[in-house]
Amino acid sequence: MSGKKKAKGGGGTKKHRRAQDAERAKSAKKKKAGERTTPDRMGRSRYERELRELQGELVAMQEWVKATGAKICIVFEGRDTAGKGGVIKRITERVSPRVFRVVALPAPTDREKSQMYIQRYVQHFPAAGEVVIFDRSWYNRAGVEQVMGFATPEQVERFLDTAPAFEKAMTDSGILLIKYWLEVSPQEQTRRLQGRLDDPRKVWKLTEMDLESYTRWNEYTEARDAMFVATDTGWAPWFVVDSNDKMRARLAVIGHLLSCVDYEPLEPHDVELPKRTVTKANGVPPGAGHRVALPT
């Protein structure tokens, strides 16, 4: 058993690492002086600057994955409202969807329920030159299915017994498997759920099951801890991310992900646009197509 690891975002650009080192040094100094060590909320401009640098590195990683035929599988698990979707969005928004693929499976069909439990996930595993991101995964069995009563204790025990061997088979086949658990405090979870209730853009994120799950914090904690004990291995360890600060969590995950992949930096592109001659009138001629009015 390797012991779960706390993701600190050690990868990424040198500037990003220096900023993290400075922040940790500042926190250590405060701790020594007996001051409050929780960092202040990150400013938007700094966040956007560091995110831009990290997303550039993700493009470099993407090109390396394509060139080498690497196979990468990333699993995101965590509490409701922990920010899994936000992290995944920032990972994928500047890379190619033909290389980075997100898998977020709905509830299993009756046919899938009759299959071997892991079967419906296997078909989504990466082929050469692909990065597959699971927004929740086969670990549903150890979490929501256990807590909400969708799986029997025997099914959960069998899953926890077999998952390490299954994941060993994955890594032995050449898949780089990286597992993240995003953790949020009960107070922050309450704040975010209330925000979903009050925001018409987010109400779709709140289901009856979310409300029921909200009342079972302790049961989810026990299920999480049992899952860590059974499935935190040397070949597929869990990396735990404190996601109470969404912006810092996103940067930490991307930086850590980059540190897990031994990719090569992008070579500078020495490319210029070719000359062209434009003789046709600019714009769409009147009467062609139906115009969409722009806001004033």
Q: What is the pLDDT of residues 112-171, one digit of tens each?
A: 999 999 999 999 999 999 999 999 999 999 999 999 999 999 999 999 999 999 999 999
The whole-angstrom separation of Cα 135 and Cα 142 is: 15
Taking the CA atoms of 158, 164, 167 and 169 in sequence, report the sign of the dihedral they define.
negative
Q: What is the mean pLDDT of residues 98-113?
A: 96
The whole-angstrom separation of Cα 227 and Cα 223 is: 6
The whole-angstrom separation of Cα 161 and Cα 8 is: 29
Please count the other Cβ atoms lying within 10 Å of the Cβ belonging to residue 47: 17
- The contacts of residue 123 (CB under 8 Å, 6+ apart) are none
**Quick check: is 117 in a domain?**
yes
**Quick check: is 124 in a domain?**
yes
Helices 14-32/246-260 angle, 10° precision = 120
Single pTM value for the model = 0.84
Q: What is the pLDDT of residue 288?
A: 80
**Quick check: is 15 in a domain?**
yes
In the chain, the percentage of residues whose pLDDT exceeds 90 is 73
The tally of domains found in the chain comes to 1
**Quick check: is 284 in a domain?**
no
In the chain, the percentage of residues whose pLDDT exceeds 70 is 86
**Quick check: is 285 in a domain?**
no
Q: What is the pLDDT of residue 205?
A: 85
Computed over every residue of the chain, the mean pLDDT equals 90
On the 0-12 / 13-18 / 19+ scale of CB atoms within 10 A, 162 is middle
Q: What is the pLDDT of residue 36?
A: 46
- The residue whose two tokens read 């990972």 is 91
**Quick check: is 208 in a domain?**
yes
Instruction: Show the domain range for 85.
Output: 5-260
**Quick check: is 290 in a domain?**
no
The whole-angstrom separation of Cα 16 and Cα 53 is: 8
| 83 compared with 204, residue with greater pLDDT | 83
The CATH number of whichever domain residue 242 belongs to comes to 3.40.50.300
Q: What is the pLDDT of residue 279?
A: 81
**Quick check: is 279 in a domain?**
no
Reported confidence tier of residue 99, pLDDT bands at 50, 70, 90: very high
**Residue 73 near residue 177, CB atoms below 8 Å:** yes
- Tell whether the model's pLDDT for residue 91 goes beyond 80: yes
